[in-house]
């Protein structure tokens, strides 16, 4: 599954475009975010991507979960969002 990493400085419109492209190509995607600002940008991107994909008949679902990621030899807890179209 394609993993998109989002930071607090990420442009949600660009993340949404990348997310929409991955959903169209592969059917689902994972977004990873560490910190409140990054989670905010990630959720905004999911909302924007829903708007991009709705005219094509896609209704996106977002399932949140915690995951551990290694950043600069440190283990950090991140939020991951599995995004896929509703069946």
The number of folded domains in the chain is 1
Q: What is the pLDDT of residue 1?
A: 83
User: What is the C-alpha separation between 82 and 63, in angstroms, rounded?
Assistant: 5
Sign of the Cα torsion 56, 61, 67, 71 reads positive
Number of other CB atoms surrounding residue 59 within 10 Å:
10
pLDDT at 87: 82
pLDDT at 76 (0 to 100): 95
CA atoms of 5 and 66, how far apart (whole Å): 14
pTM, two decimals, is 0.93
Domain that residue 66 falls in? 2-85
**CATH number, domain with residue 32:** 3.30.110.20
Query: How crowded is residue 33: how many other Cβ atoms within 10 Å of its Cβ?
Result: 25
Query: pLDDT tens-digit profile of 6-20?
Result: 999 999 999 999 999
Question: Which tokens sit at 47?
Answer: 């909302």
Q: In the numeric block, which tokens belong to residue 7?
A: 């930071």
């Amino acid at each position: 599954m394609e993993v998109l990493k989002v930071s607090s400085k990420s442009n949600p419109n660009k993340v949404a475009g990348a997310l929409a492209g991955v959903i169209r190509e592969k059917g689902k995607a994972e977004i990873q975010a560490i910190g409140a600002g990054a989670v905010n940008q990630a959720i905004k991107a999911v909302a924007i991507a829903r708007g991009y994909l709705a005219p094509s008949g896609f209704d996106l679902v977002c399932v949140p979960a915690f995951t551990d990621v290694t950043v600069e030899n440190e283990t950090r807890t991140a939020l991951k969002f599995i995004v896929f179209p509703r069946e």
